[in-house]
Structure 1
Amino acid sequence: MGSVEKALLEFEGKTILERLLESLFRVVDEVIISFRDKNQEEKFRPVLEKFPAHEIRFCFDTLEDAGPLEGIRAGLLESRGEYSFVCAGDMPFVDSRVVNLLFEKASGHDAAIPKWEDGKFEPLHAVYSKKMISEIERAFEKGKRSVLTPVFEMKDVVFVEVSEIRKIDPELRSFANINTIDEMKRIIGLSSKKENSQ
C-alpha cells in the first residue's frame, strides 16, 4: 500500500492502531512502539494521545533498512519486563486472550511463537524473552535480516500449534494483517461478520 501508514487506516470509526492498543492494554502494563524515525512518531501521536491513562513509550530504529528485526531489538531493549509480546502494527484483531496464552507458554522459556499446520510461523505475533536481543545482534553481524533467523538460534522456543489458538480464536482473526487494499476489504468483512454473529 505504498507509503501509507497502515496502522493509521481507519474503519468503523477507529484506526487499526486504536483497536490494537485497546486489545493489548487488557493484558499488558506498557506498550512500546518502535518507529523508524521522529517523522513517523509525529504521524502517530494524535492516536496515542487518546490513551492518556496508559503507559506508551517509544523507541527508534538505530539501523537503517534492517526491517522488523531492528524494531523488535529496539523494543526489547526498551522493555522493562523479561518477556514482551511483539506484533506488527497492521493487525487490527489481536486477541488479548491469545496474547495471554502466549505469555503463559513462554514463561520459563526463550519464546512462544504460533505455528501453522503447514509448518509456517507467526514471528510477528509472538512472545520473546530478552534472550532474543543477543541473537538478533548476532544475526545482524552475519548480514541476516529474517525475523526467524534469531528464533531458530535460541535453544528453548515453544511453538504453539494454531489448533490450540483456534480454541480461543476460531477464525484466527488475531493473525489478520493488511498488506494490500484487497486485504483491507477482507478485514472489514471479517469485522462485519463478527458483529453480525453476536
Structure 2
Amino acid sequence: MITREEISGIVLAGGKSSRMGTDKGLLELNHKPFVSYILEAMIPLVSEILIVSNQSEYDAFGYDRVPDIIADSGPLAGIYSGLMNSKTEYNLILSCDIPLIRTEVLQQLLHHVDEDHDIIQIESRGKTMPLIALYKSSCIQTFRDLLDRNEYRLRYALEQCKVKNVKIKGKDDLTTTNINTDQEFKKLMHDYKG
C-alpha cells in the first residue's frame, strides 16, 4: 500500500452551490463547518492538504488555498487546479459537501492502488463518486487537453482515463451522502447523531 508521504489531500470548495444558495463547505453541522469534517477524515492519510477555492474564508482552516486556474468551470477544473499544485503522485480528492465521510472509508481507496489505474473512486448505492477518489498526477495532461477544448464534464473526463471502482456498502454508504439542497441539509441536521 502507498504511504501518506506519497499522497496529497485536495478539498474542492470552489463550487457556486447554486442549488443550496450558499457555500456548502462552510455550512455547519453541530457547530462545525462541513469542511472541518472532510479535513479530519483526510488528515491521517495524507502528507499535505490543499483547498481549492477562490474564497478567502477557507484561509482560516490553516491549509494552503489554491484558486481555480480556470474560474467557474466546475469540478474538473477544480481537480486540475489541485493536481497542478500537488507535490505528490497520488491525490485524495474530496468535495466539500460530504460531512459524514470517515477515514476508514477513504482508506479503502488506498488499498486498491495498482499500476494500471489513473483514478480509483468510491462506488456507493450503485453510483460512482468521482469526488471521493484517488487521482494520479498523470491525469493532468488529459484534463488540461479537455479544458482547452471547453470540455468540462467530469464523467466524460473519467472516460478518458483508466478508472477502478471500489464498492462500499452497509453503514459505509451513509458516509458518502452529499448535501446539495436545503432539504437535504435539513434532513441531515434532523438525522445526525454525532
TM-score bucket of the superposed structures, by smaller chain: 0.7 to 0.9
Larger relative CO (CA 8 A, sep 6+): 1 or 2? Answer: 2
Q: What is the alpha-carbon distance in structure 1 between the residues aligned to residue 131 and residue 114 of structure 2?
A: 18
TM, length-normalised to structure 1: 0.80
Question: Could you tell me whether the CA contact under 8 Å between 2:84 and 2:140 is conserved in 1?
Answer: yes
Q: What is the alpha-carbon distance in structure 1 between the residues aligned to residue 188 and residue 64 of structure 2?
A: 28
Q: What is the alpha-carbon distance in structure 2 between the residues aligned to residue 139 and residue 13 of structure 1?
A: 39
Question: Could you tell me whether the CA contact under 8 Å between 1:106 and 1:158 is conserved in 2?
Answer: no
Confirm whether residue 122 of structure 1 aligns to residue 123 of structure 2: no
> Could you say which residue in structure 1 is the equivalent of 2:85?
78
- The structure richer in strand per residue is 2
Question: Could you tell me whether the CA contact under 8 Å between 1:86 and 1:127 is conserved in 2?
Answer: yes
Confirm whether residue 160 of structure 1 aligns to residue 166 of structure 2: yes
> Could you say which residue in structure 1 is the equivalent of 2:52?
34
Alignment of 1:86-105 (within 5 A): 86-105=93-112
> Could you say which residue in structure 1 is the equivalent of 2:14?
none
Alignment partner of 1:43 out of 49, 53, 57:
57
> Could you say which residue in structure 2 is the equivalent of 1:69?
76
Confirm whether residue 188 of structure 1 aligns to residue 185 of structure 2: no
Confirm whether residue 11 of structure 1 aligns to residue 18 of structure 2: no
TM-superposed CA distance for 1:75, in Å, is: 0.5
Question: Could you tell me whether the CA contact under 8 Å between 2:89 and 2:137 is conserved in 1?
Answer: yes
Question: Could you tell me whether the CA contact under 8 Å between 2:75 and 2:154 is conserved in 1?
Answer: yes
Query: 2:70 is paired with a residue of what secondary structure?
Result: coil
TM-superposed CA distance for 1:71, in Å, is: 0.8
Q: What is the alpha-carbon distance in structure 2 between the residues aligned to residue 100 and residue 72 of structure 1?
A: 20
Q: Look up the equivalent residue of 2:192 and give its one-letter code.
A: S
Q: What is the alpha-carbon distance in structure 2 between the residues aligned to residue 166 and residue 30 of structure 1?
A: 29
Query: 1:85 is paired with a residue of what secondary structure?
Result: strand
Q: Look up the equivalent residue of 2:26 and give its one-letter code.
A: L
Question: Could you tell me whether the CA contact under 8 Å between 2:70 and 2:77 is conserved in 1?
Answer: yes
Confirm whether residue 112 of structure 1 aligns to residue 120 of structure 2: yes
User: Which is greater in Rg?
Assistant: 1
> Could you say which residue in structure 1 is the equivalent of 2:144?
137
Question: Could you tell me whether the CA contact under 8 Å between 1:139 and 1:149 is conserved in 2?
Answer: no
> Could you say which residue in structure 2 is the equivalent of 1:53?
none
Q: CA RMSD in A?
A: 1.9
Q: What is the alpha-carbon distance in structure 1 between the residues aligned to residue 131 and residue 140 of structure 2?
A: 15
TM-superposed CA distance for 1:11, in Å, is: 2.2
TM-superposed CA distance for 1:171, in Å, is: 4.7
Q: Look up the equivalent residue of 1:66 and give its one-letter code.
A: S
User: What is the identity percentage for the equivalent residue pairs of Structure 1 and Structure 2?
Assistant: 25
Distance 1:141 1:176, change over 3 A: same
Q: What is the alpha-carbon distance in structure 1 between the residues aligned to residue 100 and residue 20 of structure 2?
A: 22
CA-to-partner distance for each residue in 1:66-116, whole Å, 9 max, x for gaps? 111111001011111111111111110111111111122134231101235
Q: Look up the equivalent residue of 2:59 and give its one-letter code.
A: R
**Unaligned ranges ≥5, structure 2:** 1-18
